[in-house]
Structure 1
Amino acid sequence: MSKLVITVTLNPALDKTVTVEGLEVGGLNRVDDIRIDAGGKGINVAKVLKGFNENVTAVGFMGGHNGKLILEGLEREGINHSFTETATETRMNLKVVDSTVQVTTEINERGGVVSPQERTLFQKTLENHLDKASILVLGGSVPPGIEHAEYALLIKAAKSKGVKTILDADGDALRYGLLACPEVIKPNIHELEQLLGVTLESDGEIIEAARKLTAQGIEWVIVSMGGEGSLAVSKDEAVRARPFRIKPESTVGAGDSMVAAIASSLLHGRGMEETLRWATAAGSVTASKPGTQVCRSEEVEERLNDVGITRIEG
């Protein structure tokens, strides 16, 4: 089977990142820097995988002037894509970076409505690509016109062709997606708490919560906790990773870098512990970069041994 990764972005965005010094809410702020990038979880994962020299194709919905700018950006970066065109405009998301305290505030549009005909065309496009794929990555929100259950349908389609699936979503999109049992999910701690309706304050509580999901058939639950590191849980194992010290520059893309490292690790047959090491290093390297820059494989590989790994179970 091909070593191809397909990333799905149902609700992509043109990311506009503005940097200000000392953001004053309700006051006048002058912009020091502006950057425009293609955005959306699946697209961000594709960018990182390209930097890892993996074979990746990005699919999803795209429309209007913003969509045209995103596709031009992907082509400049040499990322293969096969997006389904929509009659509505692809959304723009605003990220405001306060350089004084290195805090990012995100303001996201909902996205344009996808028609039933556009959805059908996308499903046919994805079906064709799945015949050549090893892994399907699904991430982010769903646009108006698409049901939250869509991820479950796409996961089932992939599994019917022997393609492994990774889901990185939240809310109802995650809840419905779990019904199709993706191989790997990567919620952050807040998304896991929201999903299960609990507050998780210790590693033991996180492991217990994750086991409720592995009992349903999820192979790996990888929980990210920002600067606190991450936990990977399977039916029989639990592993804790603590990141190396960095000067955080931007959290934009750190979680997506983790997902990309997970996909790359699955391609290369790494076990859960080594996958967690790669994912934690990738997220940390990206968080140390300004703006929307992401990690490259050689940078991640250099820091692998700096990730602290503790085997809790198994």
Structure 2
Amino acid sequence: MIYTVTFNPAIDYVVQVDDLTIGEVNRTTYEQMYYGGKGINVSTVLRNLDIDSIALGFVAGFTGSTMEKGVKEQGVTADFIRLEEGMTRINVKIKSGKETEINGQGPTITPTALEELFEKINKISDGDILVLAGSIPTTMPDDIYENIMARVESKQVKVVVDATKDLLMNVLKFHPFLIKPNNHELGEMFGVTLKTDEEITYYAKELQKKGAQNVLISMAGEGAILIDERGKFYKIGVPKGKVLNSVGAGDSMVAGFIAGYLRWSDYGMALRLGTAAGSATAFSKGLASGEFVQELLAEI
């Protein structure tokens, strides 16, 4: 089974405002609600690719109830922990020329609720896949990812980590199966600006030296680079299309990579499907549909 963890799920309220004017009343020309957070996005795209997973995380308040209902309607099996206080956050995404985001804080996760999550993590078995994605709330310990990975270290569990900076660097000692920083995040981790494939490859291999097995570097419109566990280099471009949405494209790439690896046991094909899934989301108003992913896969 695949498990995804989202510490701070969100209802994304996406609105289109043709000409946003600060300080005035603005009216939308399009609006839509999406139920996600990075791990939930991975679970949703996996479901669209006909692969089951269980989404773990925390919800609270009436918005938490709406989140549970929305995720279920997306076909995702969730095993959320309900918090007694606060509310699941709402993120407002305003599309008007440039994208503007207003992200909510989310509820406080108590030590008791965190122990409930650990109990669920402890039940993960050999052969399972665990996806840890995104930042963590400020109310949580900084070493939460390390704590989780330590709990499955003795098991044959493939851990995928999509995080940045110290949150990612500190878990490399646990030898995650896959990490997916983008090229800018990779440079930030080493205090450099990366301009060439050779520079990106060099620092990707530095992450491998620190413990990562497979390093996938997304580069937006420039495609992606993968250094697999054997040290093999892959580079792939992206299909042609109009970018409509930046939310969830990286999560979709992670989902596609996992789906491709499970389907073909081949890193090259996993990279192709991951790129197709990420592009399908970028070219859609919401997360990638399975049909669109397959359509783009044929073009790559």
Q: TM-score normalised by the shorter chain: which range applies?
A: over 0.9
Name the counterpart of 1:306.
299
- Give, in angstroms, the shift of residue 109 of structure 1: 2.4
Indicate the SS of the match to 2:156.
coil
1:261 match = 256
Q: Residue in 1 aligned with 2:200?
A: 206
Call closer, same or farther: CA 1:137–1:73 in 2, change over 3 Å.
Answer: same
Q: 2:109 aligns with which of 111, 114, 124?
A: 114
CA distance in 2 between counterparts of 1:96 and 1:270 reads 40
- Cα distance, 1:147 vs structure 2: 1.4
Q: In structure 2, what is the Cα distance between the partners aligned to 1:127 and 1:81?
A: 17
State the partner residue of 1:241: 236
Question: Which residue identity is paired with 2:275?
Answer: T
Three-state SS of the structure 2 residue aligned to 1:61 is strand
- Give CA deviations for 1:246-268 in whole Å, capped at 9, x if unaligned: 01111111111101012212322
Q: Indicate if the aligned counterparts of 1:148 and 1:172 stay in contact, CA closer than 8 A.
A: no
Q: What residue number does 1:42 align with?
A: 39
Please say which of residues 143-152 and 8-17 is displaced more in the overlay. Answer: 143-152
Deviations 1:83-102, CA, capped at 9 Å, x for gaps: 1111232222111112xx4x
Q: Please tell me whether the aligned partners of residues 153 and 180 of structure 1 are also in contact (alpha carbons under 8 angstroms).
A: no
Gaps of 5+ in 2: none
Aligned equivalent of 1:283: 278
- Superposed CA offset, 1:143-166 (max 9, x none): 233112111221232332211011
SS in 2 for 1:31: coil
Residue matched to 2:18:
21
Letter in 1 for 2:296: R
Count of residues in correspondence between the two structures = 298
User: Matched residues in 1 for 2:185 and 2:95: separation?
Assistant: 23
Q: Give the aligned partner of residue 148 of structure 1.
A: 142
Q: Which runs of 4+ in 1 moved over 4 A?
A: 25-28
Of 85, 93, 96, the match for 1:95: 93
CA distance in 2, matches of 1:106, 1:176: 29
Show CA shifts across 1:137-191 (max 9, x none). Answer: 1111112331121112212323322110111112332232333221100111221
In the TM superposition, residue 114 of structure 1 has moved relative to its aligned partner by 1.0
- Between stretches 219-228 and 28-37, larger displacement belongs to 28-37
Q: 1:304, CA displacement in angstroms?
A: 2.1
What's 1:86 paired with?
83
- In the alignment, the residues of structure 1 paired with residue 178 and residue 164 of structure 2 have an alpha-carbon distance, to the nearest angstrom, of 14
Q: What secondary structure sits across from 1:18 in the alignment?
A: strand
Output the aligned Cα RMSD: 1.8
- Specify whether residues 237 and 31 from structure 1 end up closer, same or farther in structure 2 by C-alpha distance, changes over 3 A only: same
Q: 1:152, 1:179 within 8 Å by CA — same for their partners in 2? A: no
The offset of 1:26, in angstroms, is 5.2
> 1:46-195 counterparts in 2 under 5 A?
46-87=43-84, 88-98=86-96, 101=97, 103-128=98-123, 130-131=124-125, 134-195=128-189
| One-letter amino acid of the structure 2 residue matched with residue 10 of structure 1 | F
C-alpha spacing 1:197/1:110, structure 2 compared with 1 (3 Å): farther
Q: Distance in 2 between matches of 1:259 and 1:277?
A: 11
Question: Is 1:227 aligned with 2:221?
Answer: yes
Q: Higher mean Cα deviation, 197-206 or 173-182?
A: 173-182
Residues 275-284 or 27-36, more deviating = 27-36
What is the alpha-carbon distance in structure 2 between the residues aligned to residue 198 and residue 227 of structure 1? 21
CA contact (8 A) 1:135 1:165 kept: yes
Query: What is the CA-CA distance between 1:25 and the residue it aligns to?
Result: 4.5
Q: Name the CA distance, whole Å, in 2 between partners of 1:181 and 1:89.
A: 35
Greater shift after overlay, 110-119 or 167-176?
A: 167-176
Inter-partner Cα distance in structure 2 for 1:106 and 1:172: 24
Distance 1:112 1:36, change over 3 A: same
State the shift of 1:27 in Å: 4.8
Q: Which amino acid aligns with 1:43?
A: I
Percent of aligned positions that are identical: 35
